[in-house]
Structure 1
Amino acid sequence: MARVRELSVGYIVDSSLPFTTFESTYLQELFRQLDSDLHIQVPWGQTTAKKDLEDILSLKKAAVKEELDGVVTQIHISFDLWTSPNRLAFISIFGHFIDRSSLYQSRLLAFRRQIGSHAGKNITYTVRNVVRDWGIDRKLGVSICDNAASNDVCLRSFYTTLDASVTRADTEARRMRCFGHILNLVAQAFLYGDDAASFELQSEAYGMLERVEEDLEHWRAKGPVGKLHNIVEFIRASPQRTEAFKAHAREQEEADIYKLTEESTAELEVIQNNATRWNSTYMMIERALIKQSELNSFVQELGLEADASRRVPTADILTSDDWKVLREVSHILEPIYNMTMRTQGWGTSGGHGRLWEAMTGMEFVLEHLEDWKVLYEDETANSATEERRVIQGEEPELATGVKSTPAGHRQSDKSESDPHVSHDYHHDFKATRSRRYTAVAK
């Protein structure tokens, strides 16, 4: 097949464009003006483009099959499922191996509709068919997938289907749980409690049924994070309020004589989170802390409206204590967010995503959370002591106005509520471990 036709189809696929892309009269004339010889090689019709795609797929599949036949290691697979905006379920399956040239390779083995439920048996059926289609069922190593219970069922069934002698322990040994998904579960549990999935489903149900008040109350029950969610949703629910907030933020920026650069339109906006992607909640909080003064003054300005529907509900107004909680939530989530972003790479030379980063990252996140646990246990114990002293009529200890952080720094109460104070959290594993043992020893 001519290279031009292959590149044309590749452009359509890579950019997620319709097959009718090259039917544009203007695009055809542009090619004709640039190079008449090139013009006649491009697949202008959608029927031709589809046919070329099928031919390319057949050729490339044969090339990948040859690679898989010549591997020098086992072939490890990874798979994931998700639902598209139009509610269609898809599954993608990758193969990972070392080739004849001793180079690490990853190849997409399947990207297809997942028919039926996301139950383990259904997933097993799909993965098994893909593996057998490529003829690699005797070369399989480990499987990497999310931490979902359905994947437990899937892999137990999958491996025993390929080899009846495989035991439950063998299946566990061949399973690697996705580090990014583990971090996601940790953050979700921290933000929404043990049953984060139910919280997400309930919020989606309220949204589909347009039960606005109940959804607001549902989020409000989650404390300052939920209240901030409601405020952001209130602002972004109306194009007029969205523009009004950006104008308000721009006025505040112009009044700040110490600003060295002008913020972009996107930076003037608040970020809306959702229950599905915890990192959207982190980014919502981060932007809100940067825009704390603008948000507070804008909410106060809306409070002067005569129409109650144009005001932020009183129950959602953030207090100074709420902002302190949001800042601490941000501190706790920041390393988890950074670790998630850091380990998203392909593990290639000069990049991120290698196994050692996941292993040391898991230890670091655990120590980070344990440091905060020790801090809050100490604060809870101190609060209980103060309460006992008050009950017994003793004089309470004078407040110092200074609070310790797990990072070993000390900061005044003023910095807790100041959105412009930055906190530097170094990802120093040895230092973190040392602080942890020191805190526990105390």
Structure 2
Amino acid sequence: MSRRRRTLHTFLNLNDENADDVKMMHRMHTSFDRKHFQRLLIEWIVDESLPFRITDSSRFHALCSYLNPEVEAQQAIITRTTIRTRIVSEFNRHQAHVIDVLQRAPGQIHFAFDGWRSKNRKNVYGLACFFRDEQTNQPRKIILGMPEVAGCHAGDTIGSSIVKLINAYKIGNKTGYFTLDNASNMDTAMEFIGNVFGFDGRRRRGRCFGHILNLAAKALLNPLPNEGDAIDQYLDDNEQLTSAQYELWRRQGPVGKLRILVIAVDQSDRLNDMFLTCQKTEYAASANPGDRKRKPLQLVKDNQTRWLGTYYMIKRALRLRQYMELTRIKFQQAWEQDNRKTTG
């Protein structure tokens, strides 16, 4: 799309033959801080997790130029390569300050780390450290990083990534205790870390109390303790479940049956449309203006990694119980009608 380049003349409707207008144009030109604009641009990209290539967009250039022609006149928009270079430079500058604070911290520095897989299937481990501030003598915590752990979740692989991050902050000699979950690979990871820094990893490991509570709650919800792993392994699976898997969840009791219904609505366009339509119909017929503005809600599907996932699934289902029941009735009626047409 062709466009005319905007200038201060056209932007402010100024006359370059008028002395006052010329002075105003000069003030506008000199008041634009190119470095400050670029810093704001980088902070915006980082805060909003935007792709670096956004500055390559001609639409973005047109928008900035429309808001202030000096952006284009002074070539203030930087490339994706420059953005990356400056972000790395800023990180290194701040990391140096963090290293200084941690090295001056009195006593040992303690750690906690746990794994997580992103939507693009990257396995990362977040490492947090806890220490006493030298100046205020108050406890503080800092996230040191989230290194990607390639391959399997073996304890040695995890431990190696954590050791590299601790060494990057030069605090290996101040290593204290670690709070971790109850996974078996954490034993191997702590053994690896202990061998590197010269201590018994088993004696420096604390168990995450929140993880223990989560395991206890899952055990209470599952009346089939010997089949808990077989049940959990399907929670993150988007494929259609087999009859054997459905039967396993039915035997789990009310929670398992609710999970079957939630997944059925989630995977079926027809069921999901019925479910949302039931809500919309009732809201539209309400005499309360507030109800008529309400938006339909989806059911919440639990998963294996979200600790309160089952709680939120039950809570949302109780809130939408009447619409779930109405959807079941409508779907049964539709199925019976279709079946009569087929057999008739």
TM-score band, normalised by the shorter chain? 0.7 to 0.9
Q: Is the 8 A contact 2:52 2:83 kept in 1?
A: yes
Q: Is the 8 A contact 2:38 2:78 kept in 1?
A: no
Which range is displaced more, 49-58 or 26-35? 26-35
The separation in 1 between residues aligned to 2:261 and 2:193, in whole angstroms, is 47
The separation in 1 between residues aligned to 2:290 and 2:59, in whole angstroms, is 44
The separation in 1 between residues aligned to 2:64 and 2:135, in whole angstroms, is 40
* Percent identity over paired residues: 26
1:263/1:34 CA distance change after superposition, 3 Å: closer
The separation in 1 between residues aligned to 2:245 and 2:220, in whole angstroms, is 20
Which range is displaced more, 72-81 or 1-10? 1-10
**How far did residue 58 of structure 1 move?**
1.9
Letter in 2 for 1:127: I
**How far did residue 128 of structure 1 move?**
1.4
1:3/1:97 CA distance change after superposition, 3 Å: farther
1:124 maps to 2:154: no
Residue 326 of structure 2 corresponds to 297
Q: Is the 8 A contact 1:200 1:276 kept in 2?
A: no
Residue 86 of structure 2 corresponds to 52
Letter in 1 for 2:126: S
1:266/1:143 CA distance change after superposition, 3 Å: farther
Residue 287 of structure 1 corresponds to 316
Q: Is the 8 A contact 1:43 1:49 kept in 2?
A: no
After superposition, what is the alpha-carbon deviation per residue over 1:371-392, rounded to whole angstroms, capped at 9, x for unaligned?
Answer: xxxxxxxxxxxxxxxxxxxxxx
Letter in 2 for 1:201: Q
The separation in 1 between residues aligned to 2:246 and 2:194, in whole angstroms, is 45
**How far did residue 247 of structure 1 move?**
1.9
**How far did residue 293 of structure 1 move?**
2.5
Tell me which of 177, 195, 204 is aligned to 1:142.
Answer: 177
Residue 231 of structure 2 corresponds to 199
Tell me which of 114, 118, 121 is aligned to 1:80.
Answer: 114
Letter in 1 for 2:188: V
Letter in 1 for 2:54: T
The separation in 2 between residues aligned to 1:231 and 1:81, in whole angstroms, is 30
**How far did residue 238 of structure 1 move?**
2.7
Tell me which of 284, 303, 307 is aligned to 1:274.
Answer: 303
The separation in 1 between residues aligned to 2:288 and 2:184, in whole angstroms, is 53
RMSD between aligned residues: 3.0
Q: Is the 8 A contact 2:129 2:143 kept in 1?
A: yes
Tell me which of 99, 119, 129 is aligned to 1:65.
Answer: 99
After superposition, what is the alpha-carbon deviation per residue over 1:216-244, rounded to whole angstroms, capped at 9, x for unaligned?
Answer: 22322212212111222222223343232
1:224/1:151 CA distance change after superposition, 3 Å: same
1:196/1:82 CA distance change after superposition, 3 Å: farther
After superposition, what is the alpha-carbon deviation per residue over 1:240-293, rounded to whole angstroms, capped at 9, x for unaligned?
Answer: 4323212213334566768974573243x3222334435222222122222223
After superposition, what is the alpha-carbon deviation per residue over 1:290-333, rounded to whole angstroms, capped at 9, x for unaligned?
Answer: 222322232122111246999xxxxxxxxxxxxxxxxxxxxxxx
Number of residues of Structure 1 aligned to a counterpart in Structure 2: 302
1:243 maps to 2:273: yes
Secondary structure of residue in 2 paired with 1:20 = helix
- Give runs of aligned pairs for residues 10-409 of structure 1, distance below 5 A: 10-37=43-70, 40=74, 42-102=76-136, 103-163=138-198, 166-167=199-200, 171-172=202-203, 174-192=204-222, 193-194=224-225, 196-202=228-234, 207-208=238-239, 210-253=240-283, 261-262=291-292, 264-267=294-297, 269-306=298-335
**How far did residue 117 of structure 1 move?**
1.8
Which of 1 and 2 has greater Rg? Answer: 2
**How far did residue 79 of structure 1 move?**
1.3
1:223/1:275 CA distance change after superposition, 3 Å: farther
1:306/1:158 CA distance change after superposition, 3 Å: closer
Q: Is the 8 A contact 2:128 2:141 kept in 1?
A: yes
1:265/1:309 CA distance change after superposition, 3 Å: farther
After superposition, what is the alpha-carbon deviation per residue over 1:132-180, rounded to whole angstroms, capped at 9, x for unaligned?
Answer: 22210111222122221211221233123211xx346xx43x3333333
**How far did residue 36 of structure 1 move?**
4.3
1:263/1:139 CA distance change after superposition, 3 Å: farther
